[in-house]
A and B are shown apart, each in its own frame.
Chain A
Amino acid sequence: MTEPVVRAEAVTKSFGHVRALRGVDLDVFPGEVVCLIGPSGSGKSTFLRCVNHLEKVDSGRLTVDGELVGYRRARGKLYELRESEICRRRADIGMVFQNFNLFPHLTVLQNLIEAPIQVRREPKAEAVERARSLLERVGLSDKERSHPAQLSGGQQQRVAIARALAMRPALMLFDEPTSALDPELVGEVLEVMRGLAADGMTMIVVTHEMGFARESADRVVFMADGVVVESGPPDELLRAPKHERTRAFLSKVLA
C-alpha cells in the first residue's frame, strides 16, 4: 500500500474561543483528487492552511509526504521548524486562493517566474521557458505581458494556477477557486483543474461546484463543525449520503 501524501489524525486548531478544527481525520493518496465540501465556517479553509503551514496545528498529527507539519524529527525528538525550513516545505505545495492573490505590480509572466527564480534559484531562461509552456496549458499565452488588473477573474485564476504549478508542486490545494467568479467564467477555471486531475496531480479542492466533484473527484469529503462527517466516492456520497447533516447540506447546495 502506498503512503498517503497528506495524513491527518485528530487534528485540532482553535482561534481564541473558536474551535475551527475539532479532530480532523483524513488521508489523501498520491494522484487522488479529494473534494472538501461543507457549510461555511466548518473549517475547510483552516484545514488547507494547516497543510500549507499557514496556520499552526494545536494538537493531533498532520503529515505531508511523511513529514510532520511544523516539526522535524531528529534523535527521537521533534524540533519546531525554522522559518527557512517551513518555506522549503511550502514551496512543494501549490495553493490557489479564492481571490487569486496575483501580484498586481508584476506582469503575468513575472508572476510565474518570481518564485522559481527567487526561491528555487532557477536560471531565468529556464523559468521563462517553463512559465510560457504553463501559460499555454492554461490558454493564456497571449497575456504574458499583461498586468493582472487587465485580466478577467477567470483569466486571473488560471494565471494563479499556472503560478502555483511553476513551482512543480507535489500537491495542489484549492480554496474555493471559483467562488469569486462570475458564473460564465467558472467553466474555464474548472476546465484547467480537470486537466490537472487527469494528469494525475494530487489535489485537495474546497468547492461548492458539485458538478466538478461528481466528475473529477476520486473522493468527496463532507466537513461540518470542524470534523469530517463522512467521505466516499462522489456518486455514493452525493447520491446516497449516510448522515443527516450531509443530506441537509446537499439538499441545499443541489437545489
Chain B
Amino acid sequence: MTLKILPSRRTGTVGLDEVVVPRRHPWRWLLAGLLLLLVVMIVEGLATNPAMRWDVVGDYLFAEPVLEGLLMTLRITVLAMLIGIVLGGILAVMRLSGNPVLLAVSLGYSALFRSIPVLVQLLFWFFLSAVLPKIGLGVPFGPVFVEAETNSLISRFGAALLGLGLAEAAYMAEIIRAGLLSVPRGQSEAAAALGMPPGKALRRIVLPQAMRFIVPPTGNQAISMLKMTSLVIAISLPDLLTSVQTIYARNFLQIPLLTVACFWYLVMTGVLSVGQYFLERRFGKGAST
C-alpha cells in the first residue's frame, strides 16, 4: 500500500519537488460576476430613477419631525430594553430560586407574554385606559393606598414601553437564565464555601461569568427591539416611522420618505452592531476554557 500525501493549500507543493496546480473554479467566478452585475444594475436603476426623488430624500433626511421621531424611537428602544433586562433578570432569578411559587409565577409570565403578539399587547395597554379609568394599589376589598388615572398613567408612550418592555422581559428571562446556568456549579459552591451570601455570589462571581453568554443574544434583542418599535405606529406614537408617515400622508411622496426611515434604521442598527462587537470583546476576556 502506498501512502498518499495530500497537497497543502498554503504551500501548493506536496513536500516533494513536484509543482501542484490548485483546482480552478471557473463557475464560481462567472456566477460572482453575474451577481455583481445585477447589484450594479439595481443600484444604478434606483440611483438614477426620477421616481425615487432623491432630492426629497435629501430634504427630509434631517428635517425636524424626522429627527424628533428618530429620538423617540431611540428613547423607546432604550427604555423598553431596560425594562426587559431588569424584569427579565428578576424572572430568571425567580426561575432558579428553588421556590415553587416564584417558579410558577415566572413560568406563567413567560408563557403569557410570549403567546400574545406584541402588536396586540401594545393595543391592549393603550386601550386599557378606556375600560379601566382608574388603577389602584391597596388591600383586596380594603383601603386603596395609591390611585392613578389610567388615562394619564398609560399614555401612548407608557403603553409603548409596557407593550414592548413586558414582552421583552419574557425573552430576556430565558437568555439570562441560560447564561446563569452556563456557569459551572463549582463556582457558586466555591463562593459559598468562602462565606459569600448567595446574592453577593450571584452578583460578583456568577453574573460576570454569565455575561459572555448573555451579552451577544441581548445585542440581538436590542436590534430586534429597535425595529419592533415601529409597531407603535398602531397607537400613533410619533416615532420615526409614524413621523415619516405623517409627512407622506400630506405630500404623497411615500417611497422617498420611507427611504429616509430606512436610512435611519440602517444607521441605528449599524451603530448597535458595532457596540455589540465591542461589548462581546470586553466580556469575553479572561474566561477561556
Q: How far is the CA of A97 from the CA of B189 in the complex (A)?
A: 10
Q: Provide the bound-state CA to CA distance between A92 and B195, in Å.
A: 8
From A82-90, A197-205, A209-217, give the one contacting chain B.
A82-90
**Do A115 and B186 touch across chains, with their CB atoms under 8 A apart?**
no
Q: How far is the CB of B187 from chain A (nearest CB, A)?
A: 6
Interface string of A112-123 (1 = CB under 8 A from B): 001100111000
Nearest CB to that of B199 among chain A residues? A83
CB distance from A137 to the nearest CB of B (A): 18
Q: A105-B287, A149-B289 are in contact. Are A88 and B195 (CB under 8 A)?
A: yes
Assembly CA distance A163 to B196 (angstroms): 13
A54 at the interface (CB under 8 A from B): yes
Closest 8 CB pairs of A and B: A91-B195, A101-B190, A115-B194, A95-B193, A101-B186, A119-B195, A147-B286, A90-B195
Q: How far is the CA of A234 from the CA of B194 in the complex (A)?
A: 30
The reply to whether B192 and A54 contact each other, CB–CB distance below 8 Å, is yes
Q: Is B217 an interface residue (CB 8 A)?
A: no
Q: Which of B265-287 contact A (CB under 8 A)?
A: 286-287
Greatest chain A CB density within 10 A among B190, B191, B286, B287 is at: B190
- Supplied contacts A83-B197, A120-B195, A164-B194, 5 more A-B pairs, CB within 8 Å: A87-B195, A90-B193, A103-B187, A149-B288, A164-B193
Beyond A99-B186, A105-B208, is A119–B194 a contact (Cβ under 8 Å)? yes
Q: Is the interface of B mostly helix, strand, loop or mixed?
A: helix
Give A163 Cβ to nearest chain B Cβ, in Å: 7
Does A128 have its Cβ within 8 Å of any Cβ on chain B? Answer: no
Chain B contacts for A114, CB-based, 8 A: 194, 204-205
Give complex CA distance A200, B206 in Å: 34
Q: Which of B189, B194, B204 has the most CB of A within 10 A?
A: B194
Question: Complex: how many Å from CA A147 to CA B205?
Answer: 14
Question: Whole-angstrom distance between the alpha carbons of A98 and B193 in the complex?
Answer: 14
Chain B nearest CB, measured from A57 CB (Å): 17
Evaluate contact between A101 and B187: CB separation under 8 angstroms.
yes
Nearest chain B CB to A91's CB is how many angstroms away?
A: 3
Q: Chain A residues with Cβ under 8 A from B184's Cβ?
A: 101
Q: Mark A129-167, 1 if CB is under 8 A from B, else 0.
A: 000000000000000000101000000000000011001
Query: Given the known A-B contacts A103-B187, A104-B286, are A115 and B196 also in contact in the complex, defined by CB atoms under 8 Å?
Result: yes
B204 contacts which of A89, A97, A118, A167 (Cβ < 8 Å)? A118
Place the interface of chain B in its size category.
Answer: 20 to 34
Scoring B residues 187 to 225 as 1 if CB is less than 8 Å from chain A, else 0, what string do you get? Answer: 101111111111010001100110000000000000000
The answer to whether B186 and A149 touch across the interface, beta carbons within 8 angstroms, is no
Point out residues on A near B: beta carbons under 8 Å. 52, 54, 83-84, 87-95, 97, 99, 101-107, 114-115, 118-120, 147, 149, 163-164, 167
From the candidates A84, A90, A107, name the one contacting B194 in the complex (CB within 8 A): A90
Min distance, Cβ A193 to any Cβ of chain B, angstroms? 17
Are B189 and A101 interface neighbours, CB within 8 A?
Answer: yes
- Rounded to whole Å, the gap between the CB of B285 and the closest CB of chain A is 8
* A106-B196 Cα distance, complex, nearest whole Å: 16
Question: In the bound complex, how far is the Cα of B204 from the Cα of A228, in angstroms?
Answer: 39
Closest to B186 in A: A101
Residues on the A chain within 8 Å of B186, using CB: 97, 99, 101
A143 to chain B, nearest CB (A): 14
Q: Cβ of A103: which chain B residues have Cβ within 8 Å of it?
A: 187, 190-191, 205, 209
Residues of B within 8 A of A52 (CB): 193
Please indicate the chain A residues that have their CB under 8 angstroms from the CB of B190 in the complex.
95, 97, 101-103
Whether A118 lies near B287 (C-beta < 8 A) is: no
Contact between B209 and A105 (Cβ–Cβ < 8 Å)? yes
Q: What residues of chain B lie closer than 8 Å to A119, measured between beta carbons? A: 194-196
- Alpha-carbon separation in the docked complex, A27 to B201 (Å): 32
Contacts of B198 in A (CB 8 A): 83
Among B184, B198, B286, which residue has the most Cβ atoms of chain A within 10 A? B286
Residues of B contacting A92 in the complex (Cβ-Cβ under 8 angstroms): 195
CB of A114, distance to nearest CB on chain B (Å): 7
Q: Which residues of the other chain, B, contact A93 by a CB distance below 8 angstroms?
A: 193
Task: Report B157-211 residues with CB < 8 Å from chain A CB.
Answer: 184, 186-187, 189-198, 200, 204-205, 208-209
